[in-house]
Amino acid sequence: MVETLESPAPPVAREGVVSPLRRFLGWCVHAYTASGLAIAAVILALLVQGGPDAFRWSFLLMILATLVDATDGTFARAVRIKEAVPSFDGRRLDDITDFLTYTSLPLMLIWRAGIVPAGYEAWLIAPLLASAYGFCQVDIKTHDGYFLGFPSLWNVVALYLYALPIEPWPALVILLVLAFLTFVPVKHLYPSQPGRLNRFATITGAVWGVVVVWLVWVLPTSSSPEFTDGTRTLTYVSLTYPAFYMATSWYLTLRGWLSPRAESAPRR
């Protein structure tokens, strides 16, 4: 009997084994997310310093932090971060960073810039707590591609209250109304999710971001800031995107409330 020689079977990769390179890339992504904390620390130092120039740089750094937040998810998906570094919760790190750069520090800027009436600064606790509620909601991101309730975009709110500028009492009312809207189940557009409207919001949002950088760059830096007509005009022009975002979100929500059976998802 002739014994046949069989070629050895190819080695099978063991499940759960992650290559050192992929693990390294995973930690690089986490470090990239954590850079938002370093940005937050610089913003805090600037706000303690105070003054128009410090506020302008704070807004610019908030924009940089937003850019990091908008891109770290793409990198995380590229390396399949939960498989690369299973022992580390990057989502929790992201939430901690976001709460600082989207909520706590913008509200501190509002206080330091004297945007709300003197003696009523304690009311800033309302949007702070509302934002904490939103961050802790497990269903804040809906299955059909929306963000439920007013998103914690207090950095954007702070910028417009500062740049217009708005008088202290109307500014306080705006802050309290937006804090209340955190608890209202309005479906806001979620640009990073699939869907025609979300894609449109992403594209127009990128253009708006460029305009906002320009706006922040031309903000006054003197000890007694004077907002020129050009600055106000640029501010009003840039408001078209937030107006579109809010109006579209409310339209889709009201349509869903009035016609419960109608599909309200932006996946079209």
pLDDT of residue 216: 94
Is 60 among the domain residues? yes
Is 14 among the domain residues? no
- Give mean pLDDT, residues 149-176: 95
Is 13 among the domain residues? no
Is 267 among the domain residues? no
Rounded to an integer, what distance in angstroms lies between the CA atom of residue 45 and that of residue 32? Answer: 21
Is the pLDDT reported for residue 3 higher than 50?
no
Is 2 among the domain residues? no
Q: How confident is the model at residue 16 (pLDDT cuts 50, 70, 90)?
A: low
Q: How confident is the model at residue 100 (pLDDT cuts 50, 70, 90)?
A: very high
SS3 of the chain: the string is: CCCCCCCCCCCCCCCCCCCHHHHHHHHHHHHHHHHHHHHHHHHHHHHHHCCHHHHHHHHHHHHHHHHHHHHHHHHHHHCCHHHHCCCCCHHHHHHHHHHHHHHHHHHHHHHHCCCCCCCCHHHHHHHHHHHHHHHHCCCCECCCCEEECCCCCHHHHHHHHHHCCCCHHHHHHHHHHHHHHCCCCCEEECCCCCCHHHHHHHHHHHHHHHHHHHHHHCCCCCCCCCCCHHHHHHHHHHCHHHHHHHHHHHHHHHHHHHCCCCCCCCCC
pLDDT of residue 6: 47
Answer for the pair 202, 147: CB distance below 8 angstroms, yes or no.
no
The pLDDT tens digits of the residues spanning 204-240 come to 999 999 999 999 999 887 766 677 788 889 999 999 9
Structure tokens at 148: 């439920």
Number of separate domains in the chain: 1
- Give mean pLDDT, residues 129-153: 88
Higher-confidence residue of 173 and 3: namely 173
Min mean pLDDT across 50-54, 188-192, 254-258 is at 188-192
Average pLDDT, the chain: 87
The pLDDT tens digits of the residues spanning 166-200 come to 999 999 999 999 999 999 999 888 876 767 787 88
Answer for the pair 32, 79: CB distance below 8 angstroms, yes or no.
no
Higher-confidence residue of 149 and 1: namely 149
Instruction: Give the CATH number, domain containing residue 40.
Output: 1.20.120
pLDDT of residue 214: 95
Rounded to an integer, what distance in angstroms lies between the CA atom of residue 19 and that of residue 12? Answer: 14
Is 120 among the domain residues? yes
Q: How far apart are the first and last CA of the chain?
A: 68
Is 15 among the domain residues? no
Range of the domain at 59: 20-258
The pTM for the full model equals 0.86
